[in-house]
Amino acid sequence: MKLYVLLSTLIVIASCQKSNDPPPVNDKPQRLTIEGKNIKTPDGNVIELRGVNWGWWETAQPQDATEAVAMGARVVRMPFRWYFGGDGSNIRQTDAPGHIKPEGLQLLDQYINWCTEQKIWVLLFAGSDQGAGDSTENYWTNASLKKEFIETWEFLVQRYKNKPYIAAYELLSEPHPKKPVTNQQVVSFYEDVISAIRKHDTLTPLMIGPNDHYDINLLEESITTKDKKIIYTFNYYLPTDYIKPDKREQAGLPIVSYPGSYNDFNGNAVNLNKDYLTQILQPAVQFRNKYNVPVFVNQMGARSRCPNNVSYLTDVCDIFYQYQIPFTYWTYRTNSDQSEYGIYWFNKTTNQYVFKPEPAAVLSAAFKRK
């Protein structure tokens, strides 16, 4: 179901602004600061940004920010989906201001307002299809597409530069250009975007992550000296054998339970438990300590069909707390069924969202830990 059909009523109700007018701003916007490994509030206190993704943003509801605050969340990771074409092209429009569809921009304004009105931080990230590297037409092979994408970021940064509670701009989610593009070329792309953004906003932190879909083991390859206000991010969908049971099924292998023992795709014996989850987090901990920079898990979670997924989620949250790793859970609402991710899943028979109390309780406890 398309974004603008689903929420056409909200567009009318939510905003009377012209699509190319910036939203209202405060004279002194609140901004986070970076000090070594720490992310700090504007008044200088360390903050651990724990929260949720509004991953498929057409699912967002007016009450979601209020609910997130009640759960204890401090941040919402929010996308603008900037796609090249096809069914996924739900915000990009080359000839529009900022290369963004006016109605999509109105929605983005509204979603950000829902959060900032509740004083919850917004991490705005760019999601892209071919641009991130799925095809030969991407930001490393097509200069005009790269230029348009950077201009979109410049437009949005100017639009929100004085908006309070903007936590950071995540420049490109999960880059994965095909070879011969190198890890260093991914960093060079980031640096070009950083240079463009800093012409308009020198305060808001920026977020980047490693090649190959934010691979935790490639964090060392993502380091840049271009800017000091950088947060480094990675995914924690680990181990793959547990998180992606469909891949095991396709390979004719038994589904992995948590905790439990199994042979991975290479035939290696694995004892999956909390100690193992701690072990595979260490590349991020070591990277943070070596470079004295903040790290952030932009996506974590487990499908509801993964056996004992609540126990897995509980242990992962405990480990993140132990190592002071901030994170956002994937995801708050989904249009998928109850077997997938999401605190809410969509029942297509009743046309209603259905709440999952167990993962929500685990996350709420994790968000509220001091």
* pLDDT attached to residue 116: 96
Mean pLDDT over 206-210 rounds to 98
CA distance 22 to 25: 8
The answer to whether the beta carbons of residues 99 and 148 sit under 8 Å apart is: yes
What is the reported pLDDT for 15?
41
**What is the distance between the alpha carbons of residues 76 and 50, in angstroms, rounded to a whole number?**
9
Mean of the per-residue pLDDT values of the chain: 91
Determine the pLDDT at residue 83: 84
Q: For residues 35 and 58, is the Cβ–Cβ distance under 8 A? A: no
The b-or-e profile of 266-302 (16+ CB within 10 A means b, else e) is eeeeeebebebbbeebebbbebbeebebbbbbbbbbb
> Are 277 and 315 a contacting pair, CB within 8 Å?
yes
What is the arithmetic mean of pLDDT over 131-136?
A: 86
Cis peptide before 239 (omega within 30 of 0): yes
The stretch 166-189 carries a mean pLDDT of 96
pLDDT of residue 8: 39
pLDDT tens digit string along 221-263?
A: 999 999 999 999 999 999 999 999 999 999 999 999 999 999 9
The model scores a pTM over 0.85 = yes
pLDDT of residue 87: 60
Tokens of 312: 């897995």
- Give the largest Cα separation in the chain, rounded: 60
In this structure, the strands spanning 50-53 and 75-81 are parallel
Residue 347 pairs in a beta bridge with: 352
Look at residue 100 and give its three-state secondary structure.
Answer: strand
Q: According to DSSP H, which parts of the chain are helical? A: 3-6, 8-14, 64-71, 102-117, 143-160, 183-198, 211-214, 240-243, 245-250, 274-291, 309-322, 357-368
